[in-house]
Amino acid sequence: MNQKVHKIALVAGEASSDLLGADLIAQLQKRPEHYEIIAVGGAKIKATGVQIIQDNEAFSVMGLFEVLRHLPQLLRLKKQIVEQVLAFEPDVFIGVDSPDLNFSIAKSLKKLSNTRIMHYVSPSVWAWRPGRVDKMKQFIDHVMCLFPFEPEIYQKVGMQASFVGHSLAKSIDPNYVKPENPKVLLAVLPGSRNREIETLMPLFLQVAKQLPGVQLASCNVSEDKKKRCEQLAKEAAVELKWYSDATTLLLQADLSLLGSGTVALQAMLCQTPMVVAYKISPLTWFIVKSLRMMQLPYYSLPNVLYGDFLVPEVMQKDLTEARLLTVLKGLMEASELTQLKNKFHQLHLELLPPRVDAAAAEVQQFIKCTGHQA
Q: Where are the domains of the chain?
A: 5-165+353-369, 184-350
Query: What is the H or E stretch that residue 275 is in?
Result: strand 274-278
CA atoms within 13 A on the CB side of 165: 22
Rounded to the nearest angstrom, the gap between the alpha carbon of residue 162 and the centroid of all alpha carbons in its chain is 18
CATH classification number, 184-350, choose in 3.40.50.80, 3.40.50.2000, 3.30.360.10, 3.30.390.10: 3.40.50.2000
Q: What φ, ψ does residue 282 adopt, rounded to 5°? A: -55, -40
Each residue's pLDDT, cut to its tens digit, for the chain (374 residues) gives: 467 899 999 999 888 899 899 999 999 999 999 999 999 999 999 999 999 999 988 776 544 444 556 677 788 889 999 999 999 999 999 999 989 889 999 999 999 999 999 999 999 888 777 888 999 999 999 999 999 999 999 999 999 999 999 988 999 999 999 999 999 999 999 988 888 899 899 999 999 999 988 999 999 768 888 899 999 999 999 999 999 889 999 999 999 999 988 899 999 999 999 999 987 666 666 666 665 556 677 888 999 999 999 999 998 788 999 999 999 999 988 888 999 999 999 999 999 999 999 999 999 999 998 764 44
CA atoms within 13 A on the CB side of 260: 19
**Model confidence, pTM:** 0.81
Quote the CA–CA distance of 164 and 352 in Å, as a whole number.
Answer: 8
Beta-sheet strand order (sheet of 51-55): 51-55, 34-41, 5-12, 92-96, 117-120, 142-145, 160-163
Whole-number Cα distances in Å, 65 to 2, 62, 203, 256, 318: 51, 8, 22, 29, 21
So what CATH class is 5-165+353-369?
alpha beta
Helix 262-269 with 15-30: angle, nearest 10 deg = 60
- What pLDDT sits at residue 372? 45
Rounded to the nearest angstrom, the gap between the alpha carbon of residue 60 and the centroid of all alpha carbons in its chain is 12
Give just the sign of the alpha carbon dihedral 301, 306, 308, 312: negative
- What pLDDT sits at residue 374? 40
Give just the sign of the alpha carbon dihedral 61, 65, 70, 76: positive
Closest CA to 133 of 143, 118, 120: 143
- What pLDDT sits at residue 11? 96
Which residue type does 252 have? Q
Any residues with CB less than 8 A from the CB of 77 and at least 6 apart, and which? 54, 58, 59
